[in-house]
Amino acid sequence: MKLLVYYFLIILTLNSCNKKNNHFAIVVHGGAGTILKDNMTNEMEKAYKQKLEEALNVGYSILKQNGKSVDAVEATIKILEDSELFNAGKGSVLSNNEEVEMDASIMTGDNLNAGAVSGIKKIKNPITLARKVMEESEHVFLSGSGAEDFAVSKGFKLIDNSNFITNNRLNSLKNIKKRESNTDNKFGTVGCVAIDKNGNITSGTSTGGMTNKKWNRIGDVPIIGAGTYANNQTCGISSTGWGEYFIRNVVAYDISAQIEYNKKSIKNAAKNTLKKVKELGGSGGVIGIDKNLNIIMDFNTEGMYRGYKKSNGDTAIEIYK
Ligand code: ASP
């Protein structure tokens, strides 16, 4: 009898392991803001969607081949950083003094390990540097030239800041200076959340920040809990939007905390948090996956570049509301 019980217990455990091991998902954003169909040509729309799809597919195939979510998130974000379309890496917006200053962070939900960098001017893929900080330093958050010294000590190549400057971003800076406005309503930050076959969740976010920023301004993106958060017990989140408001509302952690302490669904938790952001006067969006593979792509702006792909075949790539 005892043997029989053991036998059933083993079968049950194996079954639940198998269940866990068959499913995975990935979600990506390329920023939120006043993204209106009227301001978009068909070609531009196609280019954005294609790049999002390419990035999603790279991460998806890593997960499909039993890869880790941290590898999928890094690889997906690198594709978006290397594209001029998004405000990260090569497409980063310019600061007031016509330089690029990039921020990035990454977090793994199995061990709550995290890495972040800010004010990066000479590293092609800041997300890779953030991961390096997470995995090969005793710190969580490095900034500016110190972060770049760390990068060099780990074998990264430094490239001149001029390599990141595109005509498109120069024009945006000039326009914004003419309007004497400090802010821009387009947030092109990129982010990715993935859950792998082992149930490990990773979140990552990368940005050039906000056009015309001054005084080494740092947004929410490299701040763990604001721009990025991951916890296997709850969810993974990556934010995009007006960083100051996302910091003040501790957006990514606020969503996770509602799941942890109030047993909220990820959908309702994200709604509540974005409502708080809006009430303070901020705008933006979040993507996320919870431990049960529920996906959210929520925003309180006109649009958000976004997409997801799940192992059960569900997939979507969208831009507008
Ligand atoms: N959240 C970013 C920042 O404030 C901007 C963005 O999402 O595009 O730096």
What's the number of domains the chain is made of?
A: 1
Q: Closest by alpha carbon to 203, among 124, 296, 268?
A: 296
pLDDT in tens, 264-316: 999 999 999 999 999 999 999 999 999 999 999 999 999 999 999 999 999 99
pLDDT in tens, 167-222: 989 898 988 888 766 556 566 799 999 999 999 999 999 999 999 999 999 999 99
244 C-alpha vs ligand 1 centroid, how far in Å?
Answer: 9
Is the minimum distance from the CB of 91 to ligand 1 under 6 angstroms? no
69 C-alpha vs ligand 1 centroid, how far in Å?
Answer: 23
Cα(188)–Cα(167) distance, integer angstroms: 16
Determine, yes or no, domain membership for 306.
yes
Quote the Cα angle for 281-287-293, to 5°.
Answer: 145
pLDDT at position 35: 82
Looking at residue 319, what DSSP letter applies? E
Determine, yes or no, domain membership for 2.
no
Q: Is a pLDDT exceeding 90 seen at residue 128?
A: yes
CB-based contact 268:257 (threshold 8 Å): no
CB-based contact 146:132 (threshold 8 Å): no
Is the minimum distance from the CB of 221 to ligand 1 under 6 angstroms? yes
Give the strand pairing for 113-120 and 141-143: parallel
Determine, yes or no, domain membership for 110.
yes
CATH at 74: 3.60.20.30
Determine, yes or no, domain membership for 219.
yes
Determine, yes or no, domain membership for 12.
no
Q: Closest by alpha carbon to 239, among 295, 185, 286?
A: 286
Is the minimum distance from the CB of 86 to ligand 1 under 6 angstroms? no
Looking at residue 38, what DSSP letter applies? G
Cα(222)–Cα(209) distance, integer angstroms: 10
Q: Report the nearest atom of ligand 1 relative to the CA of 186.
A: 8
CB-based contact 255:206 (threshold 8 Å): no
Total Cβ atoms within 10 A of residue 156? 17
Per-residue tokens: 301: 């702006």
Instruction: Please give the C-alpha separations between residue 315 and each of 23, 30, 44, 310, in angstroms, as whole numbers.
Output: 14, 16, 21, 6
Determine, yes or no, domain membership for 28.
no
Is the minimum distance from the CB of 301 to ligand 1 under 6 angstroms? no
**Which pTM was predicted?**
0.93
Determine, yes or no, domain membership for 7.
no
Q: Is a pLDDT exceeding 80 seen at residue 94?
A: yes
Determine, yes or no, domain membership for 286.
yes
Please give the residue range of the domain that contains residue 187: 34-320
Average pLDDT, the chain: 93
Cα(87)–Cα(128) distance, integer angstroms: 16
Looking at residue 113, what DSSP letter applies? E
